[in-house]
Amino acid sequence: MNIVVPVKLVPDLVEELEIDESGAALDTTWMRLMVNEFDDHAVEQAILLKERGGGQVTILAPDAEDVDDVLFTAAAKGADRLIKITGPFEEQVNNHALARSLAAVVEELQPDLVLTGVQAHNDLDGPVGPLLAEYLGMPYVGYVSGVTASDGNVVAQKEYPGGLLAEMEVALPAVLGIQAAEEPPRYVAFSRVRQAMKSADISEQAVAELDLSGSPTVGRMFQPEAGERATMIEGDEDEVATRLVEIFKDAGVL
Amino acid sequence: MNQDIYVVVEHLRGQAADISYVMLAAARVLAQGTGGNVVAVLLGHDAQELADDLAADQVLYVDDPALAEFTSDAYEKALAGLVEENAPRAVLFGDTSIGADVAGGLSAQLELPLVSYCQSVRADDGALKFVSQICGGKIMTEGDLPDTTTLVTMIPGGFKPEEGQSAQRPEVTPVTAPALEDLRVTLKQYIEPEVGDVDISTEPILIAVGRGVQSEDDVEFAEELAEALGGAVCSSRPLVDQGWLPTARMVGKSGKRVKPKLYLAMGISGAPEHVEGIADSELIVAVNTDPDAPIFDLAQYGADIDLYDLIPALAEQIRQAKGS
């Protein structure tokens, strides 16, 4: 099976986020990016499918700082082909524009299956998956945490609230939004990534222009107001524990 | 374009989801700004009674055997014509396993703008404002709904479900479904949730662990605390994906909703998907080394201390308190 996995980089939420001078965008000066965690699950699911049934896995990513590392890491995990999409991506590109750019490249690859993360934390105009599916004329199923391939279709395990699952049969070619791979994304040692850097190639495909239509305009960004915040308990672990015991007693749970 | 606000009602196996009522409450706020009606769109088969308690001015009911259970393909086909022909001011979907599967496709197909992660809306001097929560709850984004039919996917938190319920049955207008043929997505079967040894949705004391826990063995650490306190351990998604805890212990969007007397969140950042499951807790106490973690916006008490330092000290003091 020919599987394509588009991935994107997003701000690392472990770092402090700053809003820029315009007040309507994140300050990218010191922003550290990381691969969208759900995309990481999509990569893993693609490699699991390849290990089970053979085929080829192609990873696509729009250009960004450190994107080469992300692509080489995927190669070290077992991806066969790496494509970097270059273009004016340094601006705040929205998912409609990204999905249109991806669609042009994905179409030429003629995949049986496209796997992508079900969402990213900065998808203000919807996740990439359903948009991409529509631009490609393929069906879409999201919130997927398991995929079984058979002839001409796949059975996707779709998650609903409360732990309920639905088995959806999806005709190929199709796009699936991955919530979780069947196994946790594998760890690869840096030595293997370095090896991939020597042996794997990243091919580039240029996108000349981005069509940004389809996304709202942001008027203002802000951090959730302080004041609604928790009463913070200061002190070392013993002092915090003492206060917590009092709080638990007051709440009637101790 | 007319000034009505459409709400695509979400339901699963005969039951309307809470987000449907949350959306109706949001739609009312928008419709008061536009002077239009709140129109609920109900897709299903023999499902008309689901319209009974919707706080809508009108319900458009599309009945078709192909809509008996949710599939993205059938829903999208059924909605595309309806949205295009009627051109409402906005169409609200849940930012859920149902709504998010179709809103994007409709946005691309009908070339309509899409706003997601929307938590609240308001009408402000003729403008319709949205506030979306992005970056795992760390950033709020505000803007005007674009000046054309706009699709919106909503997360809970901005409106109470009760505000979208009504004792008065709304007017129901049957709408003929388009031909739902050549569907590329079909439901094979539902798989019932795993039944765990503990039902966390009824436990009065929960010790919740998240990404701050670094290894499977450390979950034991939390178990010890739970034992001292007389509660059960539950977790956010990452630990379940790692296989460290069974799915039955997962709290949040895809997991369980809990309503304990005490929710002690250890190493949980408070991503919206998790927070969704704990909003009904009586007391939330959060421990996280990141003082900016969104969980502190929800918790009544917090401490930015390492859970590995706190747990042994806390377990010890609880044992002492119980012994005395």
Nearest to A68 by CA among A201, A189, A195, A185: A201
As its CATH architecture, domain A2-206 has 3-Layer(aba) Sandwich (3.40)
Q: Could A253 and B229 be called an inter-chain contact, meaning their C-beta atoms sit closer than 8 Å?
A: yes
Q: Could B135 and A17 be called an inter-chain contact, meaning their C-beta atoms sit closer than 8 Å?
A: yes
- Interface with chain A: mutation pick from B76, B95, B114, highest number of A CBs within 10 Å: B114
CA distance A131 to chain B (A): 5
- Asked if pLDDT for residue A43 goes beyond 60, the answer is yes
Chunked into runs of 10 residues, chain B (324 residues) has average pLDDT values of 97 96 98 97 98 98 98 98 97 98 98 98 94 95 97 96 96 96 97 89 96 92 94 96 94 94 96 93 96 92 95 96 84
Q: Could B187 and A166 be called an inter-chain contact, meaning their C-beta atoms sit closer than 8 Å?
A: yes
Q: Could B253 and A124 be called an inter-chain contact, meaning their C-beta atoms sit closer than 8 Å?
A: no
Residue percentage of chain A with pLDDT more than 70: 98
Structure confidence by residue, pLDDT tens digits, A218-245: 999 999 875 568 999 999 999 999 999 9
Q: Could B108 and A228 be called an inter-chain contact, meaning their C-beta atoms sit closer than 8 Å?
A: no
Q: Could A143 and B104 be called an inter-chain contact, meaning their C-beta atoms sit closer than 8 Å?
A: no
B10: which 2 tokens?
A: 């979400």
To which residue do tokens 């005490």 refer?
A: B262
Structure confidence by residue, pLDDT tens digits, B8-31: 999 999 999 999 999 999 999 999
Instruction: Give the ipTM of the model, two decimals please.
Output: 0.95
Residues on chain A touching B248 (C-beta within 8 angstroms)? 163
Q: Contact at 8 Å (CB) between B186 and A139?
A: no
- Which chain B residue shows the shortest CA-CA distance from A212? B113
- Asked if pLDDT for residue A84 goes beyond 60, the answer is yes
pLDDT band at A89 (very low <50, low <70, confident <90, very high): confident
Q: State the average pLDDT for chain A.
A: 95
Mean pLDDT of A74-90: 94
Q: Looking at residue A42, what is its pLDDT?
A: 98
Size of interface A-B (CB pairs under 8 A): 286
- Interface with chain B: mutation pick from A244, A247, A249, A250, highest number of B CBs within 10 Å: A244
- Which chain A residue shows the shortest CA-CA distance from B306? A237
Q: Could B254 and A161 be called an inter-chain contact, meaning their C-beta atoms sit closer than 8 Å?
A: yes
Q: State the average pLDDT for chain B.
A: 96
Structure confidence by residue, pLDDT tens digits, A126-168: 999 999 999 999 999 999 999 999 889 999 999 999 999 999 9
CA distance B33 to chain A (A): 19
CA B252/CA B237 separation, integer angstroms: 8
Q: Could A245 and B314 be called an inter-chain contact, meaning their C-beta atoms sit closer than 8 Å?
A: yes
Q: Could A253 and B301 be called an inter-chain contact, meaning their C-beta atoms sit closer than 8 Å?
A: no
CA distance B39 to chain A (A): 23
CA A123/CA B146 separation, integer angstroms: 17
Q: Contact at 8 Å (CB) between B235 and B209?
A: yes
- Asked if pLDDT for residue A208 goes beyond 90, the answer is no
What pTM value is reported for the model? 0.95
A14: which 2 tokens?
A: 């472990």
CA A226/CA B142 separation, integer angstroms: 17
Q: Looking at residue B324, what is its pLDDT?
A: 66
Nearest to A125 among B116, B310, B316 (CB): B116
CA A117/CA A9 separation, integer angstroms: 11
Q: Looking at residue A225, what is its pLDDT?
A: 73
Q: Looking at residue A226, what is its pLDDT?
A: 58
Q: Is B34 on the interface with A (CB under 8 A)?
A: no
Q: Looking at residue A166, what is its pLDDT?
A: 98
CA distance A177 to chain B (A): 9
Q: Judge if B5-175 and B200-323 fold alike in CATH terms.
A: yes
Domain map (residue ranges) of chain A: 2-206
Q: Looking at residue B194, what is its pLDDT?
A: 82
Q: Is B111 on the interface with A (CB under 8 A)?
A: yes
CA distance B34 to chain A (A): 19
CA A113 to chain centre: 17
Q: Looking at residue B195, what is its pLDDT?
A: 84
- Which chain B residue shows the shortest CA-CA distance from A226? B297
Structure confidence by residue, pLDDT tens digits, B150-180: 999 999 999 999 999 999 999 999 999 999 9
Q: Looking at residue B317, what is its pLDDT?
A: 96
Q: CATH classification of B200-323 is 3.40.50.1220, yes or no? A: yes
DSSP-derived letter for residue B248 is: G
Q: Could B316 and A241 be called an inter-chain contact, meaning their C-beta atoms sit closer than 8 Å?
A: yes
From residue B305, alpha-carbon distances to B218, B239, B309, B313 in Å are 17, 20, 7, 12
Residues on chain B touching A143 (C-beta within 8 angstroms)? 97, 100-101, 254
Nearest to B260 by CA among B229, B235, B281: B281
- For B5-175, give the CATH class: alpha beta
Q: Looking at residue B31, what is its pLDDT?
A: 98
Domain map (residue ranges) of chain B: 5-175, 200-323
Interhelix angle B99-110/A95-109, rounded to 10 degrees, is 80
Q: Looking at residue B280, what is its pLDDT?
A: 92
- Which chain A residue shows the shortest CA-CA distance from B313? A238
B4: which 2 tokens?
A: 């009505």
> Residue B319: helix, strand or coil by DSSP?
helix
Nearest to A125 among B114, B243, B261 (CB): B114
